[in-house]
Amino acid sequence: MIFDILTIFPDFFQSPLEESILRRARDKGSIEVHITNIRDFAFDKHAMTDDRPFGGGEGMVMKAEPLAAALQSIEKVIDTPRVILLSPQGRAFTQEVAGELAAEPQLIMICGRYEGVDERFRQHYVSDEISIGDYILTGGELAALIVIDAVTRLLPGVLGCAASAEKDTFSRNLLKHPQYTRPREFEGLAVPEDLLSGDHQRIEEYRFIASIRQTLAKRPELLARETFSKSEIKLLKKNELYAPIEEIRKGRIS
């Protein structure tokens, strides 16, 4: 998969892309990341990529011409690659959206800055806007890195254990169950006996119920969107968890 990043701060990406899973994915050829410096496509001697907004007001606006020229310089592997503007006005970036983007052969991401980009560029060139949360960053670079990381780990062969992605938090509308490792006891707290039983069904049932309890405690609204198999419903009822979930679905608990 190819990620093309348009930014005025190309050095921002150097260190993160050289670490952990992203570095291994690049070394294996699972992903390519190309950085385009928008300033290289500015038309004036000062390499200006922003200007004051028409009508007055605070801040600066990224100019349409250098953005368009930078975008047009990118080698496209398909006729109409997804062009994403990282913006607080975009749709929320979720695990579902990450899965959607992972099916694309190429993503072109534009890192907005200042008060945003010229609306004419957005209308003419941008096919998607994505927000990583309801807060404001200095620029879209951090958001682009988050998208790259979340999408990359979903690509075939990137993770050492494919099941890790399949069972992550948000792979369903559930938070992941608590995790434990050695030692068996830490400061008087023991690992739950179910996890030490060696009984795979017992372990899976324990983890499912623990996941439900985590979600009820921390993000109950997620359960309103989740569906369960007949065996899961039976297990929920046995542990007196089905009724609270039904209350959430009816909007009585938030």
Question: What are the residue numbers of the active site?
Answer: 88, 115, 153, 168
Contacts of 152 (CB under 8 A, 6+ apart): 1, 21, 22, 25, 30, 31, 158
Q: Is 189 left (phi over 0), alpha (psi -120 to 50) or beta?
A: beta
Q: At what angle do helices 200-218 and 230-238 cross, to 10 degrees?
A: 70
Q: How many residues does the chain have?
A: 254
Give the alpha-carbon dihedral of 19, 20, 26, 29, to 10 degrees: 160
Inter-residue contact 16 to 22 (CB < 8 Å): yes
Q: What is the 3-state secondary structure (H, E, C) of 109-164?
A: EEECECCCECHHHHHHHCCEEEECCCCCCCECHHHHHHHHHHHHCCCCCCCCCHHH
Tokens coding 24: 């291994």
Pairwise CA distance, residues 92 & 87, whole Å: 10
Inter-residue contact 146 to 100 (CB < 8 Å): no
3-state secondary structure of 32: strand
